[in-house]
């Protein structure tokens, strides 16, 4: 018999802020975290705006000695460290008598890429020996460390965030990272849940982190025509399910949860936020950039999660949609929900917080699951903002523009990633 898994701590770093309750209030008020991009000069790009994390300083989250050890962390790893610190402290798990840290693991959905893109490119350009049509090692070696910000490591490996977290808390259990694009942190939480269920660990820090607001990241998404180009009204550019949607808004951040075996949490008197009841994961096996037009993978993922949780569509009070604001995603996700929920589809509230904080890529699913936890806690649903023009292909209840008080006991959260990755989680009040 598998063991039960509960959530005892949550933390996030988002474009709307860092404190759990203040960010939640902004989401319920339909505030926007979108503005002109300031991390780099994007004025010549097709998309000149994004949802940046602003005012972030790792010093505000770590003790001085800890900061000194982790000051070289990449931007996304620093977000992960801060969100983990918030969640870890909120859970009070460190106060457990005789805590066995070999039974505490890490499972993240983490991003990729050089952490100081501008200086890395400058070093590469300066180090290139054009007259030799190649890279001159000595010139590269001389220039690289003069150009690179010496307060940071050049961390390209996605697993670095997990390594920083393990060192910060002294965790000696298993540490994993998955990079399944926009589904990464939902998959990480699902797999971390399985590890606890099957007795491999008692506690897991799980979630995701990502930062792709740099010229390479924006160029890639612009070339895919995935980003909104509504430069004249960027604060309302993210409009999931709206007929005039024209792409997603790129965001960044981190979301972390403390997952814990139920008896372990109960024995130490932990404050339990809710229970992770179901997890489903599928692949479309279709195209690397497109969802299957029938939504077959998305439907299978939701059905698998419902079966794993032992609940039916009638038990779901709220769906946290992937809801990116792209033409295809929103249409096909709506179709998939209709396919799974049938006559209940139009009666089940669905919303996308990407309308307010953009798409956090590998961190999106974790942050969105946290909003499900808060919806259960406060019995209120976050809205889909900027929804003004109904689309006949998207005909569900998207909680338009205004938060809604509602009975919320069980929530379903979807994440779909490039490559045809589909992941679904179900959480329920204990």
* Residues involved in catalysis: 182, 322, 359
* Neighbouring-strand partners of residue 381: 404
Residue 346 structure tokens: 């139009």
Tokens 């009841």, residue? 277
Helix runs in 148-206, H state only:
160-169, 184-197
DSSP 343-373: GGGGGS-EE-THHHH-B-GGGHHHHHHHHHH
User: Do residues 419 and 181 touch, judged by C-beta distance below 8 A?
Assistant: yes
User: Do residues 418 and 328 touch, judged by C-beta distance below 8 A?
Assistant: no
- For residue 138, count other CB atoms closer than 10 A to its CB: 9
C-alpha–C-alpha distance, residues 93 and 115, integer Å:
31
Tokens 């939504």, residue? 295
Q: CB-based burial of residue 312 (10 Å sphere; 0-12 exposed, 13-18 middle, 19+ buried)?
A: exposed
């Amino acid at each position: 018999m598998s063991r039960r898994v509960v959530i005892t701590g949550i933390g996030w770093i988002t474009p709307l802020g860092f404190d759990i309750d203040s960010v939640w209030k902004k989401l319920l008020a339909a505030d926007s975290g979108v503005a002109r991009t300031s991390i780099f000069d994007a004025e010549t790009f097709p998309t000149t705006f994004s949802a940046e994390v602003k005012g972030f300083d790792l010093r505000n989250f770590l003790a001085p000695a800890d900061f000194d050890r982790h000051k070289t962390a990449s931007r996304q790893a620093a977000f992960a460290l801060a969100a983990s610190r918030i969640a870890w402290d909120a859970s009070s798990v460190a106060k457990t008598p005789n805590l066995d840290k070999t039974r505490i693991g890490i499972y993240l959905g983490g991003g990729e890429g050089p952490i100081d893109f501008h200086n890395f490119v400058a070093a590469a350009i300066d180090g290139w020996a054009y007259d030799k049509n190649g890279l001159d090692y000595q010139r590269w070696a001389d220039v690289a460390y003069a150009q690179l910000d010496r307060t940071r490591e050049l961390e390209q490996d996605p697993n670095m965030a997990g390594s920083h977290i393990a060192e910060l808390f002294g965790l000696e259990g298993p540490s994993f990272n998955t990079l399944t694009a926009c589904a990464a942190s939902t998959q990480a939480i699902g797999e971390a849940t399985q590890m606890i269920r099957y007795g491999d660990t008692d506690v897991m820090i799980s979630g995701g982190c990502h930062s792709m607001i740099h010229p390479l990241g924006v160029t890639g998404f612009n070339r895919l025509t995935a980003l909104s180009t509504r430069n004249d009204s960027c604060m309302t550019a993210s409009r999931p399910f709206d007929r005039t949607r024209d792409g997603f808004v790129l965001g960044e951040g981190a979301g972390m949860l403390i997952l814990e075996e139920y008896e372990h949490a109960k024995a130490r008197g932990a404050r339990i936020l809710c229970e992770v009841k179901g997890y489903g994961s599928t692949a479309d096996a279709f195209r690397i950039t497109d969802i299957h037009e029938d939504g077959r993978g998305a439907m299978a993922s939701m059905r698998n999660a419902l079966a794993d949780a032992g609940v039916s569509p009638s038990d779901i009070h709220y769906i946290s949609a992937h809801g990116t604001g792209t033409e295809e995603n929103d249409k096909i996700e709506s179709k998939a929900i209709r396919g799974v929920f049938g006559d209940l589809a139009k009666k089940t509230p669905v919303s996308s917080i990407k309308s307010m904080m953009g798409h956090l890529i590998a961190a999106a699913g974790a942050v969105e699951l946290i909003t499900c936890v808060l919806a259960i806690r406060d019995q209120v649903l976050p809205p889909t903002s900027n929804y003004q023009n109904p689309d006949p292909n998207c005909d569900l209840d998207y909680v338009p523009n205004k938060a809604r008080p509602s009975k919320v006991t069980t929530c379903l959260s979807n994440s779909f990633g490039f490559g045809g990755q589909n992941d679904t989680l179900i959480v329920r009040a204990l």
